[in-house]
């Protein structure tokens, strides 16, 4: 991922230095396990652990000769140890190291991603409670429907964020697998007990049957759920973008002192953060497709997945981490224009109370269709001609209790019990 969208902590997980270090963790854990099994002399295993080292530059230089990154790495580390280095990579195939090390890196990336998902959820919960009774218009098809509250709107996003947090936690947990079963998964070179020791050391699970690689459905789940979480962030971002439109202007992204919205038009305050979230969500969906394509490999393995994974696994986790960071900034720093929300509630001249008028007439004994036609005529006229719906429906149906019909409080009375469900998320 480009530096612009890479935050330091998660970028470090996928840096070349950390990648090779994860390989070394696997190699050292394997050598220690082999020593515990009596296959490698204990003194040699100790020497390897104490002396093994590499530099990224040395590995890359060696790879220019070998044309194989793992072989180059093994050569460099073995040379740093001396004679005991002959035991390094003993009985292993490249995928034993690569896939197990990837499991280690996925665990680290998952912790960061899930922490960000949790922060986004918690920010939404706090803001939803803050605006529990902030009335605003609810829209369907982009058209004014009925009053709601901004807190209730945000609570819906909070529960979606919680579902995405749980999905991400499950995805990274089921990807925390490695394998040391050899070239085609038969344990011909090393017994399963070595694999068990290594996985316990690294905090991973051993794949039950791995062929030569950890099955790629695990990685596909991670990429798919990251894309779904990205979709949730995009849904939130799209809402803010719509609410920031000049004609609506109910909510605005935070706009920093000294920030410029346009190079040409100084008056502009554009929703650039939420637009960025929206664009990056599209990238994540593409990565999810790559994950699905990587599931079907030839026979016990091929490496058609390898080059793609070098891009999509780091980039997907880096991207979702960055998007979550932006979303938290938006939630915590948004400018909620309550006066504009109140003003927008009046744009239809009260026609958004039409359902309450309809049900009141039905309660009074009128047939639903007759009541619908009567209310529709008055509501449409109010909207089209700018006449107050209360006045028109009062003349068309004088038996109505207008104060009961035109009561904003009716849209608030059940909000507290709905928002009380947010307590479950805190728990």
Using the Cα atoms of residue 160, residue 166, residue 169 and residue 174 in order, give the sign of their dihedral: negative
Task: Tell me the CA distances in angstroms from 320 to 13, 117, 300, 414, one per residue in order.
Answer: 14, 9, 32, 35
User: Within a 10 A sphere around the Cβ of 7, how many other Cβ atoms?
Assistant: 15
User: Within a 10 A sphere around the Cβ of 263, how many other Cβ atoms?
Assistant: 7
Task: Sort 25 into a burial class: Cβ within 10 Å, 0-12 / 13-18 / 19+.
Answer: middle
Beta bridge partner(s), residue 10 = none
User: Within a 10 A sphere around the Cβ of 293, how many other Cβ atoms?
Assistant: 13
**414 included as an active-site residue:** no
User: Within a 10 A sphere around the Cβ of 96, how many other Cβ atoms?
Assistant: 30
Task: Sort 265 into a burial class: Cβ within 10 Å, 0-12 / 13-18 / 19+.
Answer: exposed
| Phi and psi torsions of 135, nearest 5° | -70, 140
Q: Which of 10, 287, 317 is nearest to 168 (CA)?
A: 317
One of 141, 257, 267, 299 is an active-site residue; which one? 141
| Phi and psi torsions of 336, nearest 5° | -90, 115
One of 51, 53, 193, 262 is an active-site residue; which one? 262
Report d(CA 245, CA 269) in Å as an integer.
Answer: 10
Report d(CA 283, CA 319) in Å as an integer.
Answer: 9
Within 8 A by CB and 6+ apart from 115, the residues are none
E strands, 232-330, are 251-252
Are 42 and 23 a contacting pair, CB within 8 Å? Answer: no
**306 included as an active-site residue:** no
The CA-based diameter of the chain, rounded to the nearest angstrom, is: 101
List the catalytic residues.
141, 262
């Amino acid at each position: 991922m480009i530096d612009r969208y890479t935050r330091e902590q998660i970028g470090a997980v996928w840096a070349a230095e950390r990648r090779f270090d994860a390989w070394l963790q696997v190699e050292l854990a394997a050598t220690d396990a082999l020593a515990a099994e009596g296959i490698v002399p204990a003194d040699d295993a100790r020497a390897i652990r104490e002396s093994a080292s590499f530099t990224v530059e040395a590995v890359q230089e060696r790879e220019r000769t070998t044309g194989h990154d793992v072989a180059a790495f093994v050569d460099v580390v073995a040379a740093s140890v001396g004679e005991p280095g002959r035991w390094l990579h003993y009985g292993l195939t490249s995928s034993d190291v690569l896939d197990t090390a990837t499991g280690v890196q996925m665990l680290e990336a998952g912790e960061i991603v899930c922490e960000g998902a949790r922060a986004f959820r918690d920010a939404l919960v706090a803001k939803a409670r803050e605006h529990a009774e902030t009335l605003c218009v609810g829209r369907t098809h982009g058209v004014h429907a009925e009053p709601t509250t901004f807190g209730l709107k945000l609570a819906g996003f909070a529960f979606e964020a919680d579902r995405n947090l749980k999905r991400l936690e499950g995805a990274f947990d089921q990807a925390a697998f490695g394998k040391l079963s050899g070239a085609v998964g038969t344990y011909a070179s090393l017994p399963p007990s070595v694999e068990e020791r290594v996985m316990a050391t690294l905090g991973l699970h051993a794949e039950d049957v791995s062929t030569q690689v950890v099955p790629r459905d695990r990685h596909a789940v991670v990429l798919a759920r990251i894309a779904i979480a990205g979709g949730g962030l995009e849904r939130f971002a799209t809402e803010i973008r719509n609410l920031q439109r000049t004609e609506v202007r109910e909510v605005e992204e935070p706009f920093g002192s000294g920030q410029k919205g346009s190079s040409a038009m100084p008056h502009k305050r554009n929703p650039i953060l939420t637009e960025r979230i929206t664009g990056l969500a599209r990238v994540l969906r593409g990565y999810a497709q790559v994950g699905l394509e990587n599931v079907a490999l030839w026979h016990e393995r091929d490496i058609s997945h390898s080059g793609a994974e070098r891009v999509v696994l780091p980039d997907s986790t880096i991207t979702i981490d960055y998007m979550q960071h932006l979303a938290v900034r938006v939630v915590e720093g948004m400018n909620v224009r309550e006066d504009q929300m109140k003003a927008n509630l009046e744009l239809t001249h009260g026609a958004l109370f039409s359902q309450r008028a309809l049900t009141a007439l039905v309660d009074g004994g009128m047939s639903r269709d007759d009541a619908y036609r009567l209310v529709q005529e008055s509501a449409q006229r109010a909207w089209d001609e700018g006449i107050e719906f209360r006045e028109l429906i009062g003349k068309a149906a004088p038996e109505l209790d207008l104060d009961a019909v035109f009561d904003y409080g009716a849209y608030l009375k059940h909000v507290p019990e709905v928002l009380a469900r947010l307590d479950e998320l805190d728990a």
